[in-house]
């Protein structure tokens, strides 16, 4: 009798163990590969376009502090301008404060043929400027091809490199 009870309890215990044992489920996680060169990032592109609009508005409003806030000045900040050697954030900020702080009237401030290329947390913006700025009675016409390198920071997209160069004007015949 004792053997039957032991046998029965062993069978019941075995059934319980087998029944309670969870089946291993294999969960496959498909890795999403991002092609930084060819994939598009529409949300980031839209955010950068809005940033560019805000930059233009800060210039038109004469809000130099706001204009400066769109830069991520650090030892990594660089700028090429007028064929001169590279300069850094301090020189860029001083230049922008002096130039845009001296504008007395914005006659025209068009950013033509703008292209925004996002590469994850980095973006390159290229455009052709068609600016007409008055400094007192003097009119400055600025037609340049401009490259701006942006990085997505905790404060939003910020400029870390600028490179303007003259835009060749087509001759009217």
Give yes or no for residue 7 having a pLDDT over 90. no
Report residue 29 as tokens.
């996680």
Each domain of the chain, given as residue ranges in start order, spans 42-166
Q: 61-117, pLDDT tens digit by residue?
A: 999 999 999 999 999 999 999 899 999 999 999 999 999 999 999 999 999 999 999
So what CATH class is 42-166? alpha beta
Give the separation between CA 161 and CA 72, rounded to whole angstroms. 9
Give the separation between CA 89 and CA 154, rounded to whole angstroms. 19
Neighbours of 67 (CB within 10 A): 21
Q: 117-141, pLDDT tens digit by residue?
A: 999 999 999 999 999 999 999 999 9
Lowest model confidence (mean pLDDT) among 15-24, 57-66, 109-118, 142-151: 15-24
């Amino acid at each position: 009798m004792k053997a039957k009870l032991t046998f029965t309890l062993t069978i019941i215990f075995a059934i319980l163990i087998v029944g309670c044992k969870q089946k291993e489920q294999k969960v496959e996680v498909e890795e999403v590969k991002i092609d930084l060169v060819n994939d598009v990032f529409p949300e980031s592109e839209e955010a950068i376009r809005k940033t560019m609009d805000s930059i233009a508005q800060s210039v038109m409003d004469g809000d130099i502090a706001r204009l400066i806030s769109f830069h991520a000045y650090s030892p990594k900040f660089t700028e090429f301008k007028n064929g001169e050697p590279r300069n850094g954030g301090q020189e860029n900020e001083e230049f922008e404060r002096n130039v845009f702080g001296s504008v007395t009237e914005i006659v025209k401030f068009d950013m033509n043929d703008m292209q925004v290329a996002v590469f994850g947390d980095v973006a390159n913006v290229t455009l052709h400027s068609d600016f007409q700025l008055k400094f007192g009675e003097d009119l400055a016409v600025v037609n340049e091809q401009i490259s701006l390198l942006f990085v997505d920071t905790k404060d939003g997209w910020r400029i870390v490199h600028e490179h303007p160069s003259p835009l060749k004007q087509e001759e009217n015949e």
